[in-house]
Amino acid sequence: MAPLADLYQLTMAYGHWRAGRHRVPAAAELFFRRGPFGGVFALGAGLAEVLRCLRAFRFSAADVAYLRSVLPSTTEDAFFDYLATLDTSEVTVSAVPEGSVIFARVPFLQVKGPLLVVQLLETMLLCLVNYASLVATNATRFRLLAGPNVKLMEMGLRRAQGPDGALSASKYSYIGGFDCTSNILAGKLYGIPVRGTIAHSFIMSFTSLEEVQPRELLPLAGGKPVDLPALAESWLQRVCELLQTPPEKANRGELGAFVSYAITFPCDFQGLLDTYCIRRSGLPNFCAVALALHQLGYRAIGVRLDSGDLAQQSKEIRRVLRACGAHFQVPWFETIPIAVSNDISEQSLEEFSREGSEINMIGVGTNLVTCPLQPSLGCVYKLVEVNGSPCLKLTEDEEKMTIPGTKTIYRLYDAAGHPFMDLMALEDEPSPSAGQELVVHVLGQLGETSKVVPTNVEALHRMYFKDGQVCEPLPSLSEVRSHAQVSLSLLSPAHRQLHEPQPYLVAMTERLHQLLAELRQASQ
């Protein structure tokens, strides 16, 4: 693959090369400036993909030929020869483990290497980390709102930025706490559980019970095959009597589709209830088929709703399922899982819990994969040191100021085990110690000093890439997913809150603060 880059990076690379500065040592940091979606945390994701692309980073002959055609004609030939030799063999990358909770302004990826390469990597790293972390964070929010017991399914393939955007969405939603995806390719490539049963179009393709073919089903325990359409029709009469709905209002095309599906997948029958009227058609038809299946020894696996007031309907459906279960003495009927979809958002989940819904599984598409509450994490990648000198960008916008120098990042934990501060120190400073008082400058109140005593101190970054190779074993996708849940669970409730959370403290050591002050002074 050709390196992902914006053109200006190549023109700058030429600038460095021509000035003989291309091999000057440099360091850059990747971070975001504000917690996404109004929360205080994000989930760092994309690292495995970053490492894969770092290893593959190379300009092919075709890439170089193309660049020759778009860079200014004054560009020297020798530069293109140099580009063709470029790789990441002198690049070092340290990062927060994938799936960790991360905070605004704290670097979660650090890159060192020759200036030209470090700059060339900018776009590629941002492209691979930005959306991955954003959608993983979005997924954690859905998980936090749904609680631990509701199943969450990602179904955004149709709404993502094309096939590969959809694959990223499936992968990183899984990391963020989703249980499964509808996307077969994501299942095949990443081993994510895939789910999905029946759609409106299947139901609409039937107009009557007569179309059902084949019509017979063997009882689970064996015996004579049974005519399922006839059995379902007879159950429909009994169900409609119980529910006091007119049997002629139950759509027979829908009933045919249900019966056909049940004959095909007797152990996996799920009813989609809202193609026609739920109360008078979808629900009676489902109960009729499920009771017919029960009579043959099978259990239906669920119902699904895709329109209307989902919370309200789930309660009505649960009531009907209970009534049927009690009346026809089928105890498992009352716990049939109810799945919902249809433009589910954070707000939907809040409504579901406010209304005390009976929903057991939720499919989320657009509002998961496109992250409409905040469509970009806005990660940035900034040079912090060139040729041994720390860099400072002073702008009129305080928030856009970079913090100079290569750093070690520590996460400080309180006595309850919650992280309460991320601390940036210069690389050559000694590590803070658990139980010892630290004097720090908290970002946003740099004039004053604060004193803190961490109960525990963790070095946040690990070295992942060195000498052109991945140098740390990478966890599997499901290990990353578990790590994410642990990382989230450590957060204090005040920081885990999705709206108006307590700000998370990010601080500098006194030495780093002093360096910043000196550089500021010098650049005035």
Residues of this chain, 76-105, that bind a copy of itself according to CB under 8 A: none
- Residue numbers 261-280 binding a copy of itself by CB under 8 A: 261, 263-268, 274-277
Evaluate whether 412 touches 390 at the Cβ level (below 8 Å): no
C-alpha distance across the termini of the chain, in Å: 44
- Residue numbers 35-64 binding a copy of itself by CB under 8 A: 62-63
Q: 147, 163, 225, 417: which one contacts a copy of itself (CB under 8 A)?
A: 163
Query: Please, what is the minimum distance in Å from the beta carbon of residue 324 to a copy of itself?
Result: 23
- Residue numbers 441-460 binding a copy of itself by CB under 8 A: none
Q: Which is nearer to a copy of itself, 386 or 474 (CB)?
A: 386
Query: Please, what is the minimum distance in Å from the beta carbon of residue 414 to a copy of itself?
Result: 35
Q: Which is nearer to a copy of itself, 9 or 94 (CB)?
A: 9
Q: 166, 175, 231, 300: which one contacts a copy of itself (CB under 8 A)?
A: 166
Evaluate whether 259 touches 228 at the Cβ level (below 8 Å): yes
- Residue numbers 184-223 binding a copy of itself by CB under 8 A: 184-185, 187-188, 194-202, 204-205, 207, 211-214
Query: Please, what is the minimum distance in Å from the beta carbon of residue 64 to a copy of itself?
Result: 11
Q: Which is nearer to a copy of itself, 64 or 93 (CB)?
A: 64
Query: Please, what is the minimum distance in Å from the beta carbon of residue 60 to a copy of itself?
Result: 10
Selection from 340, 487, 461, 362 nearest residue 407 by Cα: 461
Query: Please, what is the minimum distance in Å from the beta carbon of residue 266 to a copy of itself?
Result: 7
Lay out the site mask for a copy of itself across 341-370 (x = CB under 8 A, - = otherwise): -------------------------x--xx
Q: 386, 446, 470, 474: which one contacts a copy of itself (CB under 8 A)?
A: 386
- Residue numbers 171-190 binding a copy of itself by CB under 8 A: 182-185, 187-188
Query: Please, what is the minimum distance in Å from the beta carbon of residue 122 to a copy of itself?
Result: 7
Phi, psi of 453 (to 5 degrees): -125, 100
* Beta-ladder partners of 412: 421, 457
* Beta-ladder partners of 305: 340
Angle, vertex CA 135, rays to CA 129 and CA 138, nearest 5 = 135
**Residue 446: Cβ within 10 Å count:** 14
Torsion sign (Cα): 210, 211, 214, 217: negative
Compute how many residues bind a copy of itself; rule: CB under 8 A.
111
Q: Does 473 bind a copy of itself (CB under 8 A)?
A: no
Q: 112, 280, 318, 382: which one contacts a copy of itself (CB under 8 A)?
A: 382
Per-residue burial over 179-193, b if 16 or more Cβ lie within 10 Å, else e, is bbbbbeebbeebebe
Lay out the site mask for a copy of itself across 282-321 (x = CB under 8 A, - = otherwise): -------------------------xx-------------
* Structure tokens belonging to residue 341: 């979809």
Q: Does 510 bind a copy of itself (CB under 8 A)?
A: no
User: Rounded CA gap, 380 and 33, in Å?
Assistant: 8
Reduce the secondary structure of 325-369 to three states and give it as a string.
HHHCCCHHHHHCCEEECCCCCHHHHHHHHHCCCCCCEEEECHHHH
Q: 122, 233, 346, 358: which one contacts a copy of itself (CB under 8 A)?
A: 122
Torsion sign (Cα): 383, 385, 387, 393: positive
The length of the chain, given as a count of residues: 524
Query: Please, what is the minimum distance in Å from the beta carbon of residue 318 to a copy of itself?
Result: 20
Q: 25, 38, 378, 475: which one contacts a copy of itself (CB under 8 A)?
A: 378
Q: Which is nearer to a copy of itself, 309 or 500 (CB)?
A: 309
Residue labelled with tokens 């006839």 = 230
Dihedral angle computed from the Cα positions of residues 347, 348, 352 and 357, in that order, rounded to the nearest 10 degrees: 180
